[in-house]
Amino acid sequence: MTVDTLAVEAPSDVADTPDTKTPTDAAPTAAPDAAPVTDAPAAETEKPKKAPAKKAAGKKTKTLELTLTVTGTADGEWHAELKQGSTYLARNLAVAAAAVSRAAKELHEDLSTPIDEVIEAAREQQAAKVAALEAELEAARKALADLAD
């Protein structure tokens, strides 16, 4: 058989019953125009102080990453594609060389300078091709005229 025993507690000054004041124990009354003194303001001013907030390491803004790829050929054909992550938003869009040049100038001079150099080289190559084709056309016209006589 087991018997549980409780430990003896030390007597306490705090009683479970409310204090009843007798007229002789009551505090003297204050002047009628004086405001009654309460413990409320003291309780409000004695709020525990919060620990200083840690400074945020800088609010990180969400970035949106888009990849615009513009490709050109020596023939002067330009195409663009736009990707977001691994998803293509637009593919194989034909764009004019002049539009590529204007867009690069709007973005930054460091982008426009090399792009304009590539466009100029393509322009020179196309001009040489046109000159060669004109010479070939003139030769073909001469040959046709010789056959007609």
Encoding tokens for residue 120?
A: 């100029």
Instruction: Write down the pTM of the prediction.
Output: 0.49
Helix (H) or strand (E) holding 68: strand 67-72
Contacts of 68-72 spanning 24+ positions with Cβ under 8 A: 70/95, 70/100, 72/97, 72/100, 72/118, 72/119, 72/122
Question: Which pLDDT does position 73 carry in this prediction?
Answer: 83
- The tens-digit pLDDT sequence of the chain (149 residues) is 455 555 555 565 655 555 555 555 555 555 555 555 555 555 555 666 766 666 666 778 888 899 999 998 877 789 999 999 999 999 999 999 999 999 999 999 999 999 899 889 888 988 999 999 999 999 999 999 999 86
Cβ atoms of residues 69 and 90 within 8 Å: no
d(CA 136, CA 130): 10
- Quote the CA–CA distance of 19 and 102 in Å, as a whole number: 90
